[in-house]
């Protein structure tokens, strides 16, 4: 009798929770959250860009537009070799951003130190420390994808972009133009990644391609581009490169966007919900449960209702910017397991 009562109570709680999910703002709530995040990032980038430029001008005693002067010097060094300049800007700079970020994360993943960072693990019982054999296998695939898949693809993109305009023009785009293009790239990536990602979850494709990426149910940063080469082209590269390609973006904008995209996907996979960094809870839940949270911003997931189960969880409650030092697994702990 008591067991039946508990089951009815639990069922009532689940139904109430589902109703709350349906009534918590729906698609509009997701859109406003995404707009707030993107808008805040753009404003921060604008403020940081202006402040950094002012300080650099004072430090180096530069006159006029510091960034244009710096770009002109670099441009003249590569004059007549635009393809080499484009390749360095779209391969070397993003790879430095990727491995610089992941190098720091790997130190924690492999050594478990400094220990105060491990307190922020999204899945506290996993990767403590990471399996080194599995990690080395993933790193080899990541390097292969970067060198033998991304490399040739970027060279093809250079020729396609050259038809659209002059990617290595001696004149930099305006700051406002650069921000507008970055915003467009965010939208294009959300659309392309969501639908290509869902496509690779089709049973006929999943077992041949995407299953490799999901070997990591508790991801770490470096596995963000650990994927079958076919998936790397279709779901990692195309969503990122299509925006600059359609816009005919300048190399500097394209390079900045690639760096931002790689750092963003690294944070989403890193496995640590660190203070003042974007929340990785959304994509971490995807690795844990497979059938939820396919996108980047979450707007299309809300539209297609592929985040409904996620929004019933503690992970959803933790899916916010951490502005203190107390890990969210402590301030918003999991429900204690019920006795059978």
Q: Is residue 22 part of a domain?
A: no
- Kindly report the backbone phi and psi dihedral angles of residue 293, in degrees, each rounded to the nearest multiple of 5, phi listed first: 60, 70
| 189 falls within a domain | yes
Name the region of 111 (left: φ>0; alpha: ψ -120 to 50; beta: rest). alpha
Q: Please check whether residue 23 lies inside any domain of the structure.
A: no
Does residue 339 form part of some domain?
Answer: no
What is the Cα 85 distance to its own chain's centre? Answer: 26
Which domain, by its residues, includes 314? 28-331
Considering its fold, how many domains does the chain have in total? 1
Q: What is the pLDDT of residue 334?
A: 87
13 pLDDT band, cuts 50/70/90, is very low
The pLDDT tens digits for 272-322 are 999 999 999 999 999 999 999 999 999 999 999 999 999 999 999 999 999
- The model's pLDDT over 243-262, given as tens digits with 9 standing for 90+, comes to 999 999 999 999 999 999 99
**Residue 114 reports pLDDT greater than 70:** yes
Residues of the chain above pLDDT 90, percent: 71
Structure tokens at 183: 């915003």
Residue 223, in any domain of the structure: yes
271, 309 Cβ separation under 8 angstroms: no
What is the distance between the alpha carbons of residues 270 and 117, in angstroms, rounded to a whole number?
12
**Closest Cα partner for 121 from 37, 264, 97, 129?**
129
Average per-residue pLDDT for the chain: 86
pLDDT in tens, 226-243: 999 999 999 999 999 999
4: how many CB neighbours lie within 10 A of its CB?
Answer: 8
CA–CA distance, 149 with 18 (Å, rounded to integer) = 43
Q: Flag whether pLDDT at 134 surpasses 90.
A: yes
How far from each other are the two terminal CA atoms of the chain, in whole angstroms?
A: 15
Greatest mean pLDDT among 40-49, 57-66, 84-93: 84-93
Report the pLDDT value the prediction gives residue 204, as an integer from 0 to 100: 94
- What is the rounded distance in angstroms from the CA atom of residue 6 to the CA atom of residue 245? 57
Residue 340 domain flag = no
pLDDT at 128: 83
- Cα–Cα distance measured from residue 58 to residue 130, given in angstroms and rounded to the nearest whole number: 45
pTM recorded for the entire structure:
0.83
At 254 the three-state DSSP class reads helix
Find out whether 280 and 271 touch, Cβ atoms under 8 Å.
Answer: yes
Q: Give the DSSP letter string of 129-180.
A: T--HHHHHHHHHHHHHIIIIIIHHHHHHHHHHHHHHS-TT-SSPPPHHHHHH
Distances in Å between the alpha carbon of 283 and those of 7, 86, 155, 206, 333?
A: 31, 31, 30, 17, 19
pLDDT mean over 46-55: 59
Asked, for residue 162, whether it belongs to a domain, the answer is yes
Judge whether residue 269 has pLDDT over 50. Answer: yes
| Residue of 338, 271, 16, 14 whose CA lies nearest to 122 | 271
Residue at 95 is within a domain:
yes
Residue 60: Cβ within 10 Å count: 11
């Amino acid at each position: 009798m008591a067991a039946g009562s508990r089951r009815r109570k639990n069922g009532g709680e689940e139904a109430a929770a589902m109703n709350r999910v349906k009534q918590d703002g729906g698609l509009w709530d997701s859109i406003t959250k995404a707009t707030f995040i993107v808008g805040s990032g753009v404003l921060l980038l604008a403020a940081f860009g202006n402040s950094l430029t002012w300080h650099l001008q004072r430090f180096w005693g530069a006159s006029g537009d510091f960034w244009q002067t710096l770009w002109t010097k670099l441009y003249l060094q590569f004059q007549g070799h635009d393809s080499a300049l484009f390749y360095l800007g779209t391969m070397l700079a993003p790879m430095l951003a990727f491995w610089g970020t992941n190098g720091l994360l790997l130190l924690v993943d492999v050594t478990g130190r400094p220990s105060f960072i491990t307190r922020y693990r999204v899945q506290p019982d996993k990767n403590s420390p990471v399996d080194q054999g599995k990690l080395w296998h993933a790193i080899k695939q990541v390097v292969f994808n970067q060198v033998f898949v991304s490399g040739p693809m970027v060279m093809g993109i250079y020729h396609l972009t050259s038809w659209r305009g002059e990617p290595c023009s001696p004149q930099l785009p305006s700051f406002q133009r650069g921000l507008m293009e970055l915003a467009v790239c965010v939208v294009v990536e959300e659309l392309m990644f969501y639908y290509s990602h869902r496509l690779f979850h089709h049973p006929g494709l999943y077992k041949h391609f995407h299953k490799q990426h999901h070997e990591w149910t508790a991801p770490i940063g470096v596995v963000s581009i650990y994927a079958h080469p076919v998936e790397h082209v279709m779901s990692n590269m195309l969503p990122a490169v299509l925006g600059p390609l359609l816009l005919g973006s300048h190399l500097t904008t394209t390079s900045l966007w690639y760096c931002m995209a790689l750092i963003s996907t690294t944070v989403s996979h890193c496995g640590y919900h660190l203070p003042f960094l974007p929340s990785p809870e959304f994509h971490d839940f995807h690795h844990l449960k497979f059938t939820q949270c396919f996108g980047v911003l979450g707007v299309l997931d809300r539209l297609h209702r592929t985040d409904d189960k996620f929004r019933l969880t503690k992970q959803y409650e933790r899916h916010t910017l951490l502005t203190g030092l107390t890990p969210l697994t402590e301030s918003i702990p999991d429900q204690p397991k019920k006795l059978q």
